[in-house]
Amino acid sequence: MASTQRRPRALASPVRLKTSAHLVGYWWRGRFLLRHVPTRTTLVADPRAAQILHFFQEPHTPAELLSATSPRFRRLFQVTVRRLRRLSFLHRADRSPPGRDGALLAWGDWNPAASFFHFSTRDVTWASGPARQAMEDAVGRQAPPDPVPRRRAGRAVVLPRPEAGGEFVDVLRDRRTWRGFGRRPLTSGALAQLLHLTWGVQRWGRAGTGERVAFKTSPSGGALNPLEAYVLALRVEGLPRGLYHYVADAHELELLRPGATPAQVERYLGGQWFFRGAAALVLMTAVVPRVRWRYPHAESYASVLLEAGHFCQTFCLVATWLKLAPFCTVALANSRIERDLGVDGVNEMLLYAAGVGTRPAHGRHVGWPRHLPGRPYLPPYWRGPRRPVSSRPGSP
């Protein structure tokens, strides 16, 4: 008489599975962890999970795994396989890896170093609320490192006194991160100047290998120019509110999504409510294939980050020259912004944000917002109106 006992579903499954190519293991606080890089899902790497992931380095069916497992552990391994599949540590071998797991394969030798860093530093959650308060309380318990160290290894040489001033020197010295803005809108001419002198193509040339390359006002590794600029326009004369893409050679804006609000700025910038009054926000992305085409090694990822810094400083200096109030931040809701921009976060990824507004009527730089130590860190619109506070000398 045939047995009526049902075989475990995973044991009977004909689907072959394979371990994700984007797992990183590391020790942290006495435990060995495994992280799935694109989703940032982290598991404690117990021996059973590690054994299963090692087994599926080559495509196998769950039945093949369970048939080689002691009967007393089959149910446990069956449950573990299901969980690893649900968390993307395993995927079907007969299909392309899903989502970013598949897209990251195009990064080649940038994996795992660049992809691990990139996905581990996204979607900031500490910019406001209790997490921000806890961070500031922790900082208050210890003295900061010396901002200007001295190394008395030898005799000091006194340098000639630098030139006292001039327009360029004044612009450099006047550059500050503003956290308060005037009510006047930004003129379309000022926005045009900012975009053209920061991201606009100034001229074209030929690389040593013959391809046409664009030259801009900031340096770019190999003149590959991976950065793209997207503008969230809130209060710009003659420009309807919306999210735009800046076309660097044609010097024009393409509308992607109509509408923009100060609350959207706060959501984009990790809860930094003090930037709500900005007139425009520029979101910088990097198109990865432009760089990997020439530079396939992981070290090249660092050049993309440095390039974003070059362009952002140019933006801040141009805005300062125009007597505007610029700021920049990497506290970003990356996934939310990338969804709104229509980019995948892998082939084109958000890196940096720079914003600008007009200066307040009193003309003074508005710096770090202040609040009492030990009190909940709440935006002013949660607890009533509050007058802006002028910065202390030396604030960033």
Name the nearest CA neighbour of 16 among 74, 70, 57: 57
Q: Count the neighbouring beta carbons within 10 Å of the beta carbon of residue 87.
A: 14
pTM for this entry: 0.84
**What is d(CA 380, CA 83) in angstroms, rounded to the nearest whole number?**
44
- Cβ burial of 10 (10 Å; 0-12, 13-18, 19+) is buried
Are 286 and 173 found together in one domain?
A: yes
Work out how many domains the chain is built from and give that number.
2
By residue count, the chain amounts to: 396
Are 329 and 187 found together in one domain?
A: yes
Are 182 and 327 found together in one domain?
A: yes
Are 202 and 98 found together in one domain?
A: no
Give pLDDT tens digits for 177-217. Answer: 999 999 999 999 999 999 999 999 999 999 878 889 999 99
Percentages of the chain per state (helix, strand, coil), in multiples of 5: 35, 20, 45
Q: Which CATH number covers residue 194?
A: 3.40.109.10
What is the DSSP pairing of strand 203-206 with strand 212-215?
Answer: antiparallel
Name the nearest CA neighbour of 329 among 349, 301, 310, 309: 309
184 found inside a domain? yes
Q: Count the neighbouring beta carbons within 10 Å of the beta carbon of residue 113.
A: 15
User: Tens place of pLDDT for every residue, the chain, 396 residues?
Assistant: 444 445 445 445 689 999 999 999 999 999 999 999 999 999 998 888 889 999 999 999 999 998 888 888 889 898 999 999 999 999 999 999 999 999 999 999 999 999 999 999 999 876 666 766 777 777 777 787 888 887 777 788 888 988 778 999 999 999 999 999 999 999 999 999 999 999 999 999 998 788 899 999 999 998 999 999 999 999 999 999 999 999 999 999 999 999 999 999 999 999 899 999 999 999 999 999 999 999 999 999 999 999 999 999 999 999 999 999 999 999 999 999 999 999 999 999 999 999 999 999 888 888 766 544 444 444 443 334 444 333 333 334
Which residues have C-beta within 8 Å of that of residue 33, sequence separation ≥ 6? 25, 26, 27, 42, 43, 44, 45
Are 235 and 379 found together in one domain?
A: yes
Are 309 and 173 found together in one domain?
A: yes
Domain that holds residue 203: 169-383
Among 57, 85, 120, residue at a domain's last position? 120
Are 83 and 226 found together in one domain?
A: no
Q: Which CATH number covers residue 92?
A: 3.90.930
163 found inside a domain? no
Q: Rounded to a whole number, what is the distance in angstroms from the first to the last CA of the chain?
A: 83
41 found inside a domain? yes
24 found inside a domain? yes
265 found inside a domain? yes
